[in-house]
Structure 1
Amino acid sequence: MLLVDVYLDKSPIQGIGVFAKNHIPQGTLIWKLDPRFDRVIEVDTYENETGPVKSYLDRYSYPDRRDPAYIVFEADDARYMNHDDDPNCDVSSPEETYTLRDIAPGEELTCNYNHFFESGFDFLGDRHP
């Protein structure tokens, strides 16, 4: 779950993005996996889905780096965070996200999707957990 105030808006990177409402200092913990709200879904359940549900999970979930038998679906607006090769947020930990530098109000929060996928993230192909 996000631990800072954000809002969604049109992103110059891709579709919708997550933007800071207030200044966020470098090193701030901005997100923490919270099993009370965030969903950890069995890969078998994901693979048995079809249609709109499968498409939604393809877009907004990622492999659970703690256990490859699961995927993570974030319950809040964190799932709209976009990729950047030079991100301002560090998602290298599977359970916490910190800011890599100061983030100004109105600035988009970004992360490197390659942390979620062992073989890297395919921006042109399908994104399957």
Structure 2
Amino acid sequence: MTHPADRALIALAGLAGALGVALSAAAAHIAGATSLATAAQFLLFHAPALLGTALLAGSGRLPPALVRAAGFALALGLALFSGDLSVRALAQQALFPMAAPSGGMILILGWILVAVAAVWPSRPGPR
């Protein structure tokens, strides 16, 4: 049975992928939309990472809670970073002050949590 948090991460991965494609298409049609293209790239790069965290957490090969925390940190950082860049490109205003830098720092934290989960000892569970 799939844990609800893993299902949420998979849904967020699908959303990130879909938004990444949509923003890539929009950026191709808007002159000078480098921020929008960057937001699209981040969404597309991180969609498989979100899938990976859900799969790793569900596999039990790494500490599930730590891997899920990493996945949700990646999703939150992605929403803030890409969301701010997208709103700036499309509406010429910030999502809120320091949204993109905060999102970037949370993305970095998410990747550090992935690294920590890889070296954190797992408790052997029932197979």
| Fold shared per TM-score above 0.5 | no
TM class by smaller structure: under 0.3
Higher RCO structure (Cα 8 Å, ≥6 apart): 1
Using structure 1 for the length normalisation, give the TM-score: 0.25
Using structure 2 for the length normalisation, give the TM-score: 0.25
- Greater helix content: 2
